[in-house]
Amino acid sequence: MPKLLSRPPKYRLHKSTGQAVVSVHGRVIQLGPFGSAKSHARYQEEIANWRSARQKRCVEEAAEPEVSLKELQARRLRGYPVTIDELALAYLDFARGYYKKNGRVTREAEIIGDALRVLVRHHSGEAADEFGPVKLKEVRERMIDEVDWCRKHINKQVSRLTRMFKWAVSNELIGPTVYQALTTVPGLKRGRSEARETGPVLPVDDAVVAQTLPHLPRIVADMVRLQRLTGMRPGEVCSLRPCDLDQSADVWVYEPGEHKMEHHDTRRLVMIGPKAQKLLTLYLDRHPMAPCFLGDETVWLSRRRGDEADMPLNSDLMQRAHRFAIGRGKLEPYNVNAYRIAIHRACEKAGHAKWSPNQLRHTAATEVRKQFGLEAAQVICGHQSTDVTQIYAERDVTLAKEVARSVG
């Protein structure tokens, strides 16, 4: 995993008081006794506020850039060179407008911002026309020494920087020779650089998942079970809504409102078999547009005391939790990062190595491949290319339904 420059503030222990605290914008906030459910719930609330403020700041910055593309084009026509700072600001403005889904700036724009910060930190004020392969290699070394990104992430970040110069050429901010020269820089090879390596994402053993489940909040535990049965991506589990489900046949079909590859004009269909249907039923008694899994419902359930805390989830408890969520305002889907953090925290309580929700996809794919073959694993996980014909698409859906009837 890359070392993020925009990671959320950490949940930590204040040793002298035994309180859990989090530092937000230089202000230390006490959350309650360290390790308690109350402190973790409060931490999630503060992180949600932090993300909301950060998102608002990104939108405001995008709406009022310090330098516009037209201004830079006009200045270059008058003979003034475009600097690295100006180019980075203009490209970041473009990225925040281009990389959007449902009105929200995506993670891609944030990652581009991370790369641009490293570039500007060391080449501020320099003319973009004078930036060449040697300077790009120097920036790449800074990514290794200062930020400690892994080799694969560094190669992607260098590609993003090169893409910025391509964009600058297409908008007549610099000459074409700059981009052409930068494309001659090869990517870092395994074992031939100082950049650290990361291992592949491996499946998580079902026995480890079973040990983790008792330590998870009840709703999160059901999210894990659902993802294990269906092979969904973590974001697809978090954003699931009743209106996205076609329940007209014995195998339900879930078509996410947004997914990873939608910009390639591909459809993502998740097949929901009998086991997953039984699990989901409890979360469908709500407005069709409301997310099935809500962080505020988890907050309400975590506050229960006495015998009610040990009761199995039922429709009455879920309705009460949902009314609580409605009373708190806008119904936001469960945050993907909060989902992962909850699993990591449960792993610590269970006393075994941490695993991430994306590993559940690998576990599901491995099982399906053993039983039904490679093609079945591909269609269950939604690994499709953009040139697949309609005939193959129909065949894939049929095969995916057969798999869901058996394992999901």
- Distances in Å between the Cα of 81 and the Cα atoms of 17, 71, 78, 89, 138 are 57, 12, 9, 15, 22
> What confidence score (pLDDT) does residue 199 get?
76
CB atoms inside a 10 Å sphere around CB 396: 19
> What confidence score (pLDDT) does residue 107 get?
84
Sorted by where each starts, the structural domains of the chain and their CATH numbers stand as 1-63 (no CATH), 65-199 (1.10.150.130), 206-407 (1.10.443.10)
State mean pLDDT over 204-214.
91
> What confidence score (pLDDT) does residue 382 get?
64
Query: pTM of the prediction?
Result: 0.63
> What confidence score (pLDDT) does residue 270 get?
86
CB 107 within 8 A of CB 156: no
Give 180-198 pLDDT, tens digit per residue.
999 999 999 988 888 888 8
- Give the three-state DSSP class for 100: strand
> What confidence score (pLDDT) does residue 20 get?
87
Q: Give the β-pairing of 104-105 and 12-14.
A: unpaired
Tokens of 150: 């892994």
Give 30-53 pLDDT, tens digit per residue.
888 888 888 888 888 888 888 777
| Residues composing the chain | 408
